[in-house]
């Protein structure tokens, strides 16, 4: 089945990395993949635009089915291959505990979008806005908003047993959120200030699905310290 799948992706992109991790966790190795360069504008190529008219990555096909949103692709893979590989969302039937766990997983999954958005706002302001055009007060507000959000995730990990984001086992919450946490730490987030996030990052670094999909550009170049003041 994996041979009928194609993923177009970019290195270091949390949305792309989510899908890569999900594919590994569901034991779907052997899919077709094309690593593209954001810097060269390859995500705007005709090949990608034919699959994803927004010209964004990831772009994903399973047979004739196209799913270009990373959340959608991850949930699709879990639904279609429920009994294969890691069960990323437990079954709810007949168990109040499992239903509560599903609720927590879903809560963390969709909160992950807020973390990613606030992180992206700081990242894009630093990357896109020339220094002579920046308004320092505006940039500081963005960083303060992100700081509050990161502190919230640090607090979640303090309260969660097992070292994962939702319960004692790796779940869809980790598939979705870990890439954003990894990008924060790769780009300067203080391990001393956020010890639980640093511990989580190091714990998942050793997970086979994460090791197999580690961004190749990160292996070659150190990250900029964009988030060192968060």
List, for residues 179-226, the tens digit of each pLDDT value: 999 999 999 999 999 999 999 999 999 999 999 999 999 987 776 788
User: Where along the chain do the CATH 1.20.1050.10 domains lie?
Assistant: 96-219
Q: What is the pLDDT of residues 82-127, one digit of tens each?
A: 999 999 999 876 667 788 999 999 999 999 999 999 999 998 877 6
Give the containing element (helix H, strand E) for 215: none
pTM attached to this predicted model: 0.93
Separation CA 168–CA 23 (nearest Å): 21
Q: What is the pLDDT of residues 132-159, one digit of tens each?
A: 666 778 888 999 999 999 999 999 999 9
Which residue has 């968060």 as its token pair? 230
Tokens of 158: 């303090």
> Class of the 96-219 domain?
mainly alpha
CATH superfamily of domain region 5-81:
Glutaredoxin (3.40.30.10)
Q: Residue 60: CA atoms inside 13 Å, Cβ hemisphere, count?
A: 24
Which residue has 């995500």 as its token pair? 43
User: Cβ distance 190 to 228 under 8 Å?
Assistant: yes
């Amino acid at each position: 089945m994996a041979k009928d799948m194609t993923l177009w992706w970019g290195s270091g992109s949390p949305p792309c990395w989510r899908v890569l991790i999900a594919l590994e966790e569901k034991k779907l190795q052997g899919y077709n993949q094309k690593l593209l360069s954001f810097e060269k504008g390859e995500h705007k190529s005709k090949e990608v635009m034919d699959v994803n008219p927004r010209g964004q990555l990831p772009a994903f096909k399973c047979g004739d089915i196209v799913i270009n949103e990373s959340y959608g692709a991850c949930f699709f893979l879990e639904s279609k291959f429920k009994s294969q590989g890691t069960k990323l969302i437990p079954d709810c039937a007949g168990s109040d505990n499992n239903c509560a766990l599903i609720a927590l997983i879903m809560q963390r999954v969709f909160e992950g979008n807020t973390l990613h958005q606030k992180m992206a706002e700081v990242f894009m302001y630093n990357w896109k806005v020339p220094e002579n055009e920046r308004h320092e007060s505006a940039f500081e507000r963005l960083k303060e908003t992100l700081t509050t959000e990161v502190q919230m995730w640090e607090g979640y990990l303090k309260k969660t047993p097992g070292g994962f984001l939702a319960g004692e086992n790796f779940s869809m919450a980790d598939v979705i959120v870990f890439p954003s946490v990894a990008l924060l730490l790769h780009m300067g987030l203080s391990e001393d200030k956020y010890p639980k996030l640093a511990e989580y990052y190091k714990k998942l670094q050793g997970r086979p699905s994460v090791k197999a999909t580690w961004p190749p550009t990160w292996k070659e170049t150190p990250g900029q310290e964009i988030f060192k003041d968060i």
